[in-house]
Amino acid sequence: MGVNLLKDKVVIITGASGGIGAALARELAGRKASLILVARREGQLTALKVDLLRNNGNASVSFYPMDITDPAAVDSMIADVHRRFFRIDILINNAAYGINGRFENVPMEEERRIFDTNLFAAVHLMKKVLPIMCQQGGGKIMNIGSVVGHRAMPLMSSYSATKFALKAYTEAIRIEYAKKGVEIMYASPGYTQSNFLEHEKKFGEERRRGVKHAPMPGSVCARKLVDALLKNNRDTILTTFGKTSLIINRFMPGLVDRVLLSRV
């Protein structure tokens, strides 16, 4: 059996109450990490902690029910975690939601709101943890993106834009902090079993057509994400469908445009 590189590592996961975030919590609890779970929904966080403790014995699990777009709440959480554990080893920026609708039908306040949650909350968290990681000699940040952060999708312009922007931040600051022992990564899960569509906000009558291939199970997605984290993979696309789509888009973008046009 190999060395458990995640044992006792202090890991913050945002958007941890369901979907990929909860799957990551289960995967990391199994690897004996010290988990800090962050999400709005206290009931789901409580239930998840009970499940993690039931299945992982003496797992270390703490949670903070909070709005990550509230800067004061984020600052307080980071300070409390650092006070309790004296370090923060890994930050996984996973919290996000989607918007489905034609561009003109999405109110401007919703455009700002999705950027606050999907992008600026992650930026704020990175600004708070990076000085800590530099001071302690290293750390890891994984920003959970999307395939639509590589190729934008019609009726998903807002969500696509937040993921493109998160990728840009990731690429830039990865180089800025490389000599300080901090690894900063971007990972694109693709179509995954989760509650993402349930929480997606819808505007107007038009809807994009559903994906026809089967979703990746959340547990498989989480395992692949953790493996990428341990390997310091700078840009990971988890699904074969996602990888194939982006290769086609790179060499035949006009063809992809025509396919997408047929689905709107």
Q: Which residues are catalytic?
A: 159
> Helices (DSSP H) in the chain: which residue ranges?
19-30, 42-56, 71-85, 108-115, 121-136, 157-177, 196-199, 218-231, 240-251, 253-261
Are 166 and 187 in contact by the 8 Å Cβ rule? The answer is: no
Residue 178 identity (one-letter amino acid): A
Q: Judge whether 64 and 91 are in contact, CB under 8 Å.
A: no
Cβ–Cβ under 8 Å, residues 166 and 146: no
The Cα 122–Cα 116 span in angstroms is 9
Amino acid identity for residue 75 in this structure:
D
- 47 backbone dihedrals φ, ψ, rounded to 5°: -65, -40
How far CA 55 is from CA of 10, 45, 211, in Å, comes to 19, 15, 33
In this structure, are strands 139-144 and 182-188 parallel, antiparallel, or unpaired?
parallel
Give the separation between CA 144 and CA 94, rounded to whole angstroms: 5
Per residue, what are the HEC states of 100-122? ECCHHHCCHHHHHHHHHHHHHHH
